[in-house]
A and B are shown apart, each in its own frame.
Chain A
């Protein structure tokens, strides 16, 4: 009886812990196997502890090159999609113009469409236009699908902004440019940041669309996919773990800064 009551009282906590475990355990497995020294080609069974992979993260040919390409594309795609997406979001949220409904629809499509279809049709388009596949085609494809997410995130923020704040700025002698820089942009910043982060993550790990538009270039997800056929090198676990830890550190730092700001104020 007492056990039942205890469970009932702590059901939410139990569910929370289970969900967290479900999310974190795979990452911990990846972390653990980044310290493995596998016997043979496959890094699936524990052999013995080693820091080899961490000391030589670029020890496997081609991997760091593909990682560099992925990071470069992710950075450029994030910048491109964030700038274009923010402007689009402002246009959609603030102005009435011809084709607004159509634009709204068009922006929504990449999120709703299966990636295979999008990747294949984009590939066909590049082929027909005789555009050389490679860095630029990947970048264009990534900006396209990241755009939707930036527009969605920024638009939601802009729509919820009080238009009187900008009027107040104008009333207080701020020119239109100053109003945008001093009031509009800072207020929209959380939405823009969310869109940018999402863009980076989506671009960095995209495989399907990229594989249709990459030509001879190999991005990191493509490298992992390719190597998985022959046996994944331990270094892939190292990169995966590093990315995970970086993300955790960034989130913690963000929380810390926000907490300190709140405490100071």
Chain B
């Protein structure tokens, strides 16, 4: 059984007609992988009215011999934002983070923090702090001294008040004299956050900080981190492979794949308008249908597929489509309504529809997940909210999948249709 990668209710369903075109304004981060050429300093110069970006990467890249871990990357992270770098393991997200921290020398490009070029500075001279994956707390120092470490190294003598306040912020005041190994995973995680935050860094870097925690604690820490970020107002850059974690916490998510940023934007925007098959599959689940453009009329693409016609708003198509061109038509499982074949007449006109047969169904409480085989592709996924359960929808039943055409998105057909799915990650 496949585990759900999104809860259907977790992302707002945009009203038909409002989704395309309107969403870009809601994206707080202004940057993209296709931004100015590396080294153009004019792009880095802050405009007088806007504060400089907390982090500005200009063509930052890392190569190990012939292997490129991170392709030259341009990225701007606005001050005070909660920014997530999301990707599967080995996609270069941690390398990017380590280059910002100064723990890994880049092979090209520059790092600017708060408008200052720090590319040549060693880690201990950069105004950033990191929460490491396994916390990396100093085992020979107690919690108090762990948290005070950064202050003491900068020659601050009276640290007691600050450390006390910081420990209170992460709710660890009574444990100040414990050693790290006497703390639970969640407590250690909070010490790691406190130890970094007490220095009031320009940017706080979090490297898979919740990876070692169990699910329940992870949820709790997600909210906790979000609360702390709101409270202290420091820019957070969060590296994670967990798409749900990234979407829950961050206000801007950059999806990385094979050393490149595939797409960047607000979580809802990425989810609704994926620009590549990787993003479509990695962020939640997508049904991708191979199609050919039959005609273009009034901002709407009419497609032909192996299972009949579909329509797609031209604005939601990530590639310029001409008649005869190939595209992938995508739709999220929770946007689809499932009807028994007997009720086909009752489906309103103007809906995209695909016929098929239920191959599998699993009841998971809030919804039922169906796997439907159809002429347009095997194993289409449909999440049906658990309102009125139609007893006829069992494996083997003939069904019609239908959805609002506005909920269809179009992708370039010249890419791996399975990029970013679980199967590919495992390979």
Contact = CB atoms under 8 A, between A and B. Distances in A.
Interface of A: 162, 164-165, 167-176, 178-179, 182-183, 186-187, 264-265
Interface in B135-182: 136-140, 142, 149-150, 153-154, 177-179, 182
Contacts of A174: 124, 149, 153
Contact of A164 (B132, B149, B154): B132
Contacts of B128: 171
A228 B133 CA distance: 63
Given A162-B136, A165-B136, A171 B142 contact: no
A168 B138 contact: yes
B235 interface: no
B40 to A, nearest CB: 30
Nearest to A167: B103
Contacts of B179: 265
B182 A172 contact: no
Contacts of B136: 162, 164-165, 167-168
B101 A187 contact: no
A183 B150 CA distance: 13
B132 A168 contact: yes
A164 B124 contact: no
B199 interface: yes
Nearest to B145: A182
A239 to B, nearest CB: 37
A173 B150 contact: yes
Interface of B: 101-103, 122-125, 128-130, 132-134, 136-140, 142, 149-150, 153-154, 177-179, 182, 195-196, 199
Given A164-B134, A167-B123, A172 B140 contact: no
Of B132, B149, B178, most A-chain CB atoms within 10 Å: B149
B195 A172 contact: yes
Nearest to A183: B138
Contacts of A187: 139-140
B129 A171 contact: yes
B180 to A, nearest CB: 11
Given A164-B134, A265-B179, A171 B103 contact: yes
25 contacts: A164-B136, A165-B139, A167-B123, A167-B136, A169-B138, A169-B149, A169-B153, A170-B122, A170-B124, A171-B103, A171-B124, A171-B128, A172-B150, A172-B195, A173-B124, A173-B125, A173-B153, A174-B124, A182-B153, A186-B140, A264-B177, A265-B142, A265-B177, A265-B178, A265-B182
A130 to B, nearest CB: 49
B190 to A, nearest CB: 16
B198 to A, nearest CB: 9
Mostly helix, strand, loop or mixed at chain B's interface? loop
A38 to B, nearest CB: 52
A67 to B, nearest CB: 37
Given A168-B130, A169-B138, 5 more contacts: A164-B134, A167-B103, A170-B103, A173-B153, A173-B154
Given A162-B136, A164-B136, A171 B177 contact: no
B142 A172 contact: no
Nearest to B127: A173
A172 B196 CA distance: 7
Contacts of B102: 170-171
A183 B129 CA distance: 17
B103 A172 contact: no
A178 B154 CA distance: 11
Contacts of A167: 103, 123, 130, 132, 136
Nearest to A189: B140
A242 to B, nearest CB: 34
A189 to B, nearest CB: 8
Contacts of B139: 165, 187
A172 to B, nearest CB: 4
Of A164, A167, A172, most B-chain CB atoms within 10 Å: A172
Of B132, B137, B199, most A-chain CB atoms within 10 Å: B132
B114 to A, nearest CB: 17
A164 B104 CA distance: 12
Contact of A178 (B134, B137, B140, B153): B153
9 A-B pairs with least C-beta separation: A172-B150, A168-B136, A164-B136, A173-B153, A170-B123, A186-B140, A174-B153, A171-B130, A170-B124
A172 B149 contact: yes
